[in-house]
Chain A
């Protein structure tokens, strides 16, 4: 009896300068199988559907439960996390390719360090006085916590940046993820001492004004962050800050 199989097509590229080629694979189906399992199966038996020897696929992954943000890729054209992409819910052949907006490293691995640089630029941290014991933190109502917690669930997967028409070299747009973190830190009783600096960092070229409200970001976010809501709020704050800065000159 032939076992049930799954068809994959994976875009391979051995280095940034090498040509891209599509390879097909036929893998044994198993219940609950996801796209990362398929990558592991290929590593254990690196052969294409036509029987040609190949190499294990290079890709980023770590937690495999959609919380580390590593395994973002395009699966059947959609930017998403490979670990939570269950084979049974996907049309076959399952076409897998790297995110397209970031420098390619190899196969499905791309360099997304731009997000971490953006987080530095907006000072996405609470400027505590020090780590010595200064007693309890500021009181926070449950209502405030319920606004901040979802924003703090961003896993830095960059799916929101991948699908944003404005996120490209021409605009230099920071993207929705960074803007949501600005809202998070500006909301915090201590974090807000850097509010003005964060808002100024989001003014001008590449800042929040580049957003075209396509709303793709909020559609694709695997953690369902209220991204468009954050963009609206921070847009308003950036404008108010610019006005204050202008009047205060």
Chain B
């Protein structure tokens, strides 16, 4: 039979991993990305990638990695795929090493490892504090090699609009928009892999890159793909608040010994450095003596919220706390954390070698995403999903340095799975639905271009971000979540009056943004309503009115499907066959 032709959408770590496996196995790949793939959001990952290589004589094992991941995720992740991922991790690190990733080294020339949150082991391999950048480049280089051999065709500067489905509901290709010429067309494929990343833009400001809107996920959700665990949003404890985004300050800062504290006296006017030890409140170390500053992110984020909003502490009346590295010598910091210290200095103007950093939590990652089976296929045959855009590996809270691993692991298994699916797939009938889907998309584009009204899409987006950040992040109340959903419905209504200041057909960025915005609004409802329905607290999802985990009712995957009157929800049992759910207590002695 002919060589299978696979479309991969998204050129971050997950997408590139899939591309490499397909090209290596003899398949042909069309790779779509909004930005040149080397500029994908994976470059922003900082601290490292987990693998139980046990090179520090600690007796670490892949099973302990598995247990930490499941426990850290508050038992919501299906255990079979997580176990397989943790078992594959050491070989993945070896491969990345062979690809030339400049990982930090021990004196013997072996890989160095550091600690990260939610574990007591040095399990995180790292390249300075720019690990995501270094990993992405290594994969980008391998893909460039295949591109030069003609096995991969890149469509950079194209935005995915929708899947093409045939009369039996099988995926037969995609439609995409050339962001320069504004040309709309469809592309045929035997299988499609979505690797379209995060959804931070739904919250306005986040640590995510500009392209992380969740638009692609939402588009296929509206075409019938189930969306799972949407309510689980990770808020990273340590970010630099900013006007345009919240810049991540890596967990590796704490992995290398960074300490989080606030002045005990809320009206202390002194600079951080001038405040003596006894007048500092190291609240994470005090509340969580065993894990200290390296509790999982949901725990650290809630602790900072508590200190700031309940204990009314902060930095000179501002809602911020210190992340302090000044006790660590300069050379060590430069060697192990270089990249992130530069970011702080460039954007804030203070040198974190000398001055404690001022940080606050920010939206960072979605644990939820497109529902997939253990082969990474969604409920639409032929449509796969990998990386942050799917839900499978992190349960209710992701451990630091597990995201790079889950992206690469899922990419690596999805490639061969998509190939074997393609080889066994039935032939399409007719044109596979291409003409009809192009017509549908062309109609949406034409309507948007000539639409008249008083609404500016960028302003509507700011309102969406404000309401989602207020009601659907760290602390959630059903009343607030309902207000958020009502607000989204209002914004969807006002969206009908969106008018574009730019109606041209050349590199029209506001047109592309307006299309993304519609999809963001639809997906935001899944988050708000999913959170409303889950009357318990688990991982990143915390409701003061329901402060305990409720396994009886909610040890279940949330599954949302699209209807014209809003998302519809059902629940699915979680695979807990290896590790019996136990209480998650990072404050306990053991």
Interface segment, one of B105-113, B290-298, B527-535: B105-113
Interface-side segment among B93-101, B274-282, B539-547: B93-101
Collect the chain A residues with CB atoms within 8 Å of residue B38's CB: 69, 116, 156
- Which residues from B are CB-within-8-Å of A43? 458, 509-510, 513
In the complex, are the beta carbons of B130 and A58 less than 8 A apart?
Answer: no
A228–B96 Cα distance when bound, in Å, is 29
* Residue A51, interface by CB 8 Å: no
0/1 string, B18-34, CB within 8 A of A gives 1: 00110010000000000
**A-B pairs with CB below 8 Å: how many?**
196
A65–B347 CB distance below 8 A: yes
Q: A126-134, A161-169, A204-212, A235-243: which lies at the B interface? A: A126-134
Partner of A137 from B98, B147, B210, B211 at Cβ < 8 Å: B98
Tally of chain B residues near chain A (CB < 8 A)? 73
Contact pattern, B 242-281, Cβ under 8 Å of A = 1, otherwise 0 = 1111011000000000000000000000000000000000
- Tell me if A44 and B347 are in contact (CB < 8 A): no
B103 — which chain A residues lie within 8 A by C-beta?
145
Given contacts A14-B504, A43-B510, A145-B104, contact A124 B144 (CB under 8 A): yes
Least CB distance, A205 to chain B, in whole angstroms = 21
Query: Which chain A positions have C-beta within 8 A of B435?
Result: none
Determine whether B440 belongs to the interface, using a CB cutoff of 8 Å to chain A. Answer: no
Which residues of chain A (28-57) have a CB below 8 Å from chain B? Answer: 30-34, 36-37, 40, 43-46, 53-56
Q: Which of A32, A67, A130, A135 has the most CB of B within 10 A?
A: A67
Q: Nearest Cβ distance between residue B160 and chain A, in whole angstroms?
A: 16
**Residues on the A chain within 8 Å of B145, using CB:** 123, 125, 127
A188 at the B interface (CB under 8 A): yes
Interface string of A88-121 (1 = CB under 8 A from B): 0000000000000000011101000100100110
Q: Which residue of B lies closest to A136 (CB)?
A: B94
Given contacts A43-B458, A134-B98, A139-B108, are A68 and B43 in contact (CB under 8 A)? yes
State whether the Cβ of A142 lies closer than 8 Å to any Cβ in chain B: yes
Q: Which of B133-141, B303-311, B385-393, B475-483 contacts A (4 or more CB under 8 A)?
A: B133-141
Q: B134 is contacted by which of A37, A138, A152 (Cβ under 8 Å)?
A: A152
Which residue from chain B places its CB closest to the CB of A143 in the assembled complex? B105
| Contact flags B498-526 to A (C-beta < 8 A → 1, else 0) | 00011010111110010000000000000
A126 / chain B contacts, CB cutoff of 8 Å: 98-100, 138, 141-142
Which chain B residues lie closer than 8 Å to A14 at the CB level?
504, 506
Q: Do the beta carbons of B501 and A131 come within 8 Å of each other?
A: no
Tell whether, in the assembled complex, residue B209 and residue A68 are in contact, meaning their CB atoms are under 8 Å apart: yes
For B102, B248, B348, B507, the residue with the greatest tally of chain A CB atoms inside 10 Å of its CB is: B102
Query: Once the chains bind, are A148 and B109 in contact (CB under 8 Å)?
Result: no
Nearest-Cβ distance from residue B254 to partner chain A, whole angstroms = 19
Quick check: A145 and B102 within 8 Å, CB to CB? Answer: yes
Q: Which of B133, B247, B507 contacts A58 (CB 8 A)?
A: B507
Instruction: List B contacts of A56 (CB < 8 A).
Output: 458, 501-502, 509-510
Bound: A107/B502 CA distance, A: 13
Asked whether A3 is an interface residue with its Cβ less than 8 Å from the other chain, the reply is no
Task: Say yes or no: A68-B35 contact (C-beta < 8 A), given A30-B243, A62-B210, A136-B94.
Answer: yes
Answer whether residue B127 sits at the interface, using C-beta atoms and an 8 A cutoff. Answer: yes
Most chain B CB within a 10 A radius of its CB, from A14, A30, A68, A126: A68
Asked if A131 meets B412 with Cβ closer than 8 Å, knowing A63-B41, A64-B244, A126-B98, the reply is: yes
Closest to A68 in B: B39
Residue pair B98, A15 in contact (C-beta under 8 Å): no
Q: Do A152 and B102 form a contact, CB below 8 Å, given A15-B506, A36-B244?
A: yes
A37 to B144, Cβ gap below 8 A? no
- In the bound complex, do residue B144 and residue A53 qualify as a contact, i.e. CB atoms below 8 Å apart? no
Contact, CB under 8 Å: B244 / A131: no
Q: Which residue of B lies closest to A189 (CB)?
A: B100
Q: Is the CB of A44 within 8 A of B105?
A: no
The 8 closest A-B pairs by CB, nearest first: A139-B109, A137-B97, A125-B141, A55-B502, A106-B507, A44-B458, A126-B100, A137-B98
Interface residues of B (CB under 8 A from A): 20-21, 24, 35-36, 38-41, 43-44, 91, 94-95, 97-100, 102-111, 127-128, 130, 133-134, 137-138, 141-142, 144-145, 147-148, 156, 180, 209-211, 242-245, 247-248, 335, 339, 343, 346-349, 412, 456, 458-459, 462, 501-502, 504, 506-510, 513
User: Known contacts A14-B506, A65-B248; can you find 12 more A-B pairs with CB under 8 A?
Assistant: A33-B243, A56-B458, A58-B509, A67-B133, A120-B148, A131-B21, A133-B91, A136-B98, A137-B97, A149-B127, A149-B134, A155-B133
- Chain A interface residues (CB < 8 Å from chain B): 14-15, 30-34, 36-37, 40, 43-46, 53-56, 58-70, 83-84, 86, 105-107, 109, 113, 116, 119-120, 123-128, 130-131, 133-142, 144-146, 148-149, 152-153, 155-156, 185, 188, 190-191
Q: List 22 A-B contacts (CB under 8 A).
A: A40-B244, A43-B458, A43-B513, A44-B458, A63-B41, A64-B209, A67-B43, A67-B133, A68-B40, A68-B44, A68-B209, A113-B36, A120-B147, A128-B95, A131-B20, A131-B95, A134-B94, A134-B98, A136-B94, A136-B98, A149-B128, A156-B36
